[in-house]
Amino acid sequence: GEEVAQTPKHLVRGEGQKAKLYCAPIKGHSYVFWYQQVLKNEFKFLISFQNENVFDETGMPKERFSAKCLPNSPCSLEIQATKLEDSAVYFCASSQQQGSTDTQYFGPGTRLTVL
Amino acid sequence: GDSVTQMEGPVTLSEEAFLTINCTYTATGYPSLFWYVQYPGEGLQLLLKATKADDKGSNKGFEATYRKETTSFHLEKGSVQVSDSAVYFCALSDRGNFNKFYFGSGTKLNVKP
């Protein structure tokens, strides 16, 4: 598609429950990025993929967060045993090529609320 | 490490006023610089970008010039409209750091009729 698609738009989970978010990058884009937007608009980088391979995972809290990008499937970000502090908007972005000049195109985000 | 600093908002202007939103950056390599805009309830939309020193990015009346000597990328518009009300984010991408984006904290712009 021509836009990055993210589902669901909203997700509510009780503390300790699992949450799974999905992202379909723009067709033909090889790179996928996940960001977490918390209070006061702060963006935190989580992980990036080059096709189905992890490119950079330096931002991932590895104890409870995992992510995948499998061929012919939407990418996913999964949080096991959610905590209150995981409440945020999670954005996915895709870019066509590797390069700092390359624009990242963002999806509309998934708002996760942990109660 | 890489970082972006933006002026704190909110910024409130009357329609047709001149807009400046300051952005400065710190980077270890040779970053590209971007401005994104976020309307309420929506994702980020690219507004403009510049990929090397002295480049000027422009779009929809907005402009920003990549100033390496002052490590700045200030956003300007000569005459704002009510429809420009949104949150504006300055960002950098550093090819020496896996091209992940570093964002400023965002500046909310309110334009009154």
Asked if B31 is an interface residue toward chain A (Cβ–Cβ < 8 A), one would say yes
Only one residue has tokens 């309110």, namely B110
For a pLDDT cut of 70, what percent of chain B falls above it? 97
Give chain A's length: 115
Contact B98 A33 (CB under 8 A): no
Q: For residue A99, is pLDDT > 70? A: no
Asked if B57 is an interface residue toward chain A (Cβ–Cβ < 8 A), one would say no
SS3 A62: coil
- What pLDDT, in 10s, does the model give residues B29-82? 789 999 999 998 888 999 999 999 999 999 999 999 999 999 999 999 999 999
Cβ-nearest to B101 among A4, A101, A104 = A104
Q: Categorize the per-residue pLDDT at A2 as very low, low, confident or very high, splitting at 50, 70 and 90.
A: confident
Q: Categorize the per-residue pLDDT at A14 as very low, low, confident or very high, splitting at 50, 70 and 90.
A: very high
DSSP assignment string, chain B: --EEEE--S-EEEETT--EEE-EEEE-SS-EEEEEEEE-TT--EEEEEEE-STT-EEEETTEEEE-BTTTTB--EEESS--GGG-EEEEEEEEEGGGTT-EEE---EEEEEE-
What pLDDT shows up at residue A1? 60
Q: Categorize the per-residue pLDDT at A100 as very low, low, confident or very high, splitting at 50, 70 and 90.
A: low
CA dist., res. B98 & res. B17, Å (int): 39
Cβ-nearest to B43 among A31, A58, A107 = A107
Q: Encoding tokens for residue A6?
A: 């993210």
Q: What is the dihedral of CA A58, A59, A64, A68, to 10 degrees?
A: -70
Contact A31 B99 (CB under 8 A): yes
Q: For residue A19, is pLDDT > 90? A: yes
A95 vs A100 pLDDT, higher one = A95
Spatial contact of A83 and A114, defined as CB atoms under 8 Å apart: yes
Q: What is the mean pLDDT of chain B?
A: 92
Q: Categorize the per-residue pLDDT at B97 as very low, low, confident or very high, splitting at 50, 70 and 90.
A: low
What pLDDT shows up at residue A98? 65
- What pLDDT, in 10s, does the model give residues A41-83? 788 999 999 999 998 998 998 899 999 999 889 999 999 999 9
Q: Which chain B residue has its CA at the smallest distance from A93's CA? A: B44
Contact B99 A98 (CB under 8 A): yes
What pLDDT shows up at residue B95? 72
Q: What is the mean pLDDT of residues A10-33?
A: 95
ω into A8 cis (within 30 of 0): yes
What pLDDT shows up at residue B2? 86
What pLDDT shows up at residue B29? 77
Listed in sequence order, the residues at least 6 apart from B40 whose beta carbon sits closer than 8 Å to its beta carbon are B86
- Of the candidates A36, A20, A14, A26, the one whose C-alpha atom is nearest the C-alpha of residue A95 is A26
